[in-house]
Amino acid sequence: MERAGIPATTIQRLPLYLRCLLQAEEQRIPLVNSGTLAEMCGTNAAQIRKDLSYLGELGTRGIGYEVRALIEHISAVLGITERRRAVLVGFGRFGGALLGYPGFAERGFDIVAVFDSDPDKIGVSVGGLTVLSVDELEGVLQATGAEIAIMTTPGDVTQELADRLVRAGVRGILNLAPVRLVVPEGVAVRQVCLSTDLQVLSFHLAQNTL
């Protein structure tokens, strides 16, 4: 499968396409063309065709794209045909909220362990899981084979924990802590920072008040 050479921006749009296609499938729509899919996604037809062309020749000229087949293809490229295991590090406000979020499981991601360093939280059981001590990080990661970590830890310990996670086999980190992580080659990091987003919004507000 020709996966290399797909632009990063295309990859970031695939989950959106997937969501729209699943929606179409629910409505029993068997076929879409680039125009209608673009409308569903809020993009343009050329973008859709170009993006999908990177995954192979998935459409039929004069007809369009078969919804089910396209879902399969995109899922395969995103590597979510099998379920993926993730651990949650940090059981605070955000950590707790994320654990209860059904969206992860719906999209094929299973949270298989939760860690914290606060003795008051360790042992708490929630959603079928028990909060574990971060001391057990390495052992549990080995046992579960989880490859993804979602971090909602205080800023000052995040890099250190990330290092341990990587050493223990994690190769993808979704970081909600307001810290720029440094990770070795081959490990992917997605940084989420709501404060940053608010500041970008603020810029736009300031712009429009000239």
Partner DNA sequence: TGATGTGAAGAGGTTCACAGCT
Partner DNA sequence: AGCTGTGAACCTCTTCACATCA
Q: Does 90 bind DNA (CB under 7 A)?
A: no
Q: Does 167 bind a copy of itself (CB under 8 A)?
A: no
Both structure tokens of 174: 């979704």
Q: Does 207 bind DNA (CB under 7 A)?
A: no
**In terms of Cα–Cα distance, which of 145, 15, 147 is closest to 77?**
15
Name which position in 30, 101, 153, 165 contacts a copy of itself (CB under 8 A): 101
Q: What residue 197 binds from a copy of itself, DNA, none (CB within 5 to 8 A, per partner kind)?
A: a copy of itself
Name every residue whose Cβ is closer than 8 Å to that of residue 116 and which is 6 or more positions away in sequence. Answer: 89, 90, 91, 92, 95, 122, 131, 132, 133, 134
Nearest distance from C-beta of residue 16 to DNA, angstroms: 12
> Which is closer to DNA, CB of 36 or CB of 133?
36
Contact 112, 130 (CB under 8 A): no
Distances 29 to 51, 75, 179, 191 between C-alpha atoms, Å: 21, 18, 44, 35
CA distance 47 to 63: 18
Q: Does 33 bind DNA (CB under 7 A)?
A: yes
Q: Does 46 bind DNA (CB under 7 A)?
A: yes
Q: Does 129 bind a copy of itself (CB under 8 A)?
A: no
**Which residues in 30-89 contact a copy of itself (CB under 8 A)?**
41-42, 77-80, 84, 86
> Which is closer to a copy of itself, CB of 62 or CB of 103?
103
Name every residue whose Cβ is closer than 8 Å to that of residue 58 and which is 6 or more positions away in sequence. Answer: 52, 65, 69, 70, 73
**Which residues in 140-159 contact a copy of itself (CB under 8 A)?**
147-148, 150
Concatenated DSSP letters of 117-163: S-TTTTT-EETTEEEEEGGGHHHHHHHH---EEEE---HHHHHHHHH
Q: Does 47 bind DNA (CB under 7 A)?
A: yes
Q: Which residues bind a copy of itself (CB under 8 A)?
A: 3-4, 11-12, 14-16, 18-19, 41-42, 77-80, 84, 86, 93-94, 96-98, 100-101, 103-104, 106-107, 109, 147-148, 150, 171-174, 178, 180, 182, 186, 188, 190, 192-210
